[in-house]
Amino acid sequence: MARPHIEPFCDRDVSFKNMNLSGFGNGMRFKMLSLDTDSGACSITVQFEGGYKQNPGFSWSEMEMIVIDGELQYGDHTIRKGHYLFVPAGYAMPAISSEQGALVLMMYNTGEPSHVESDEHHALAQVGLHHDIDSYMDIPWAMGNVVKPSVAAGCLIKLLNYNPISHAMTFLYCMTPAFYQDNISYHDCAEESYHLWGTSWMMQFGDVPTGGYFWRPAYINHGAFASELGCIALGRVDSKLFNHFHYNPWSTPVQNQDRSAARLYQRDPLLYKWMVSHSHNHPHGPEDFEQNVHRHDQDKVSDGKTHSHWHGHDHDHHHD
């Protein structure tokens, strides 16, 4: 099961709990924002107490982190408010400590929080994917129209991470003071956001204040939006972000999904036809992940037709 819809939620309304998982240091406290109870993947607000120390080591899960407040020592570097890290699974991080304490947002994307003490990366770690940056100081704001169709002017973004296979993205976004957008959105991807500072408003869920958070599965209506004084937030999507805009506040997620399928039919009619008419529209297992599949180019099938496709399992193909 994927994560449930969490919205509205504000982490300031709940208290910290002690992190008791092995490998982490004493003085790490967390608030659970959203959790996939099957995989353990989760997003958490973490308070590292002053004096916190953690030995070098890696996680079994991909992890992203942004410093909300305070300072952390990350190996030789002091990282502060706005510093973002992308840490692939199995990547051995240097020692981490905090003299005065730090508040951070941590996202364990593929499994539960874990820390295995090690000076070396795991043999299978995709080490080159690691990157980090001071997102407040070292990246300029860009127009929000890099995603089509565009959000209204006055919503700016800074891209922090992009997965070229899944099109998953992590980004900062900023609503400028007096921003508003009057239409309603939904997407084909799940969407997550944490308000680092400031308040925005949404027609369906009300105010999202500092510390406000949502995990929103695909096809859920959201918007109109507004922000009186502006806000800055970290956003994340788990696959390709397309803004389906409309003005019907009563449409259901199933109706939104159907409308998206109709759009796919118009945009890529052959792809749509292939999906729905070749018995491929069944749930696929983990063997279908792109890295593991093999390509059958122009397989001859019994009726003499040729076709080409990707898959990693045996099954019948029905042609009419």
Q: Which of 219, 200, 244 is nearest to 5 (CA)?
A: 219
Q: Which of 126, 32, 114, 44 is nearest to 86 (CA)?
A: 126
* Closer CB to Fe ion, 7 or 191, in the complex: 191
Beta carbon of residue 256, minimum distance to Fe ion (angstroms, whole number): 12
* Closer CB to Fe ion, 97 or 185, in the complex: 185
* Closer CB to Fe ion, 62 or 191, in the complex: 191
CA–CA gap between residue 190 and residue 262 (Å, rounded): 20
Beta carbon of residue 133, minimum distance to Fe ion (angstroms, whole number): 24
Question: Which residues, at least 6 apart from 205, have a Cβ–Cβ distance to it below 8 Å?
Answer: 7, 8, 214, 222
- H or E element, residue 275: helix 269-277
Site string for Fe ion, 164-203 (x = CB under 5 A): ---------------------x-----x------------
Beta carbon of residue 107, minimum distance to Fe ion (angstroms, whole number): 17
* Closer CB to Fe ion, 109 or 221, in the complex: 221
* Number of amino acids touching Fe ion (CB under 5 A): 2
Q: Which of 15, 46, 43 is nearest to 29 (CA)?
A: 46
Beta carbon of residue 220, minimum distance to Fe ion (angstroms, whole number): 9
Site string for Fe ion, 137-166 (x = CB under 5 A): ------------------------------
Beta carbon of residue 231, minimum distance to Fe ion (angstroms, whole number): 14
Question: Which residues, at least 6 apart from 141, have a Cβ–Cβ distance to it below 8 Å?
Answer: 156, 157, 158, 174
Q: How many CB atoms lie within 10 A of CB 21?
A: 12
Residues of this chain that bind Fe ion (CB under 5 A): 185, 191
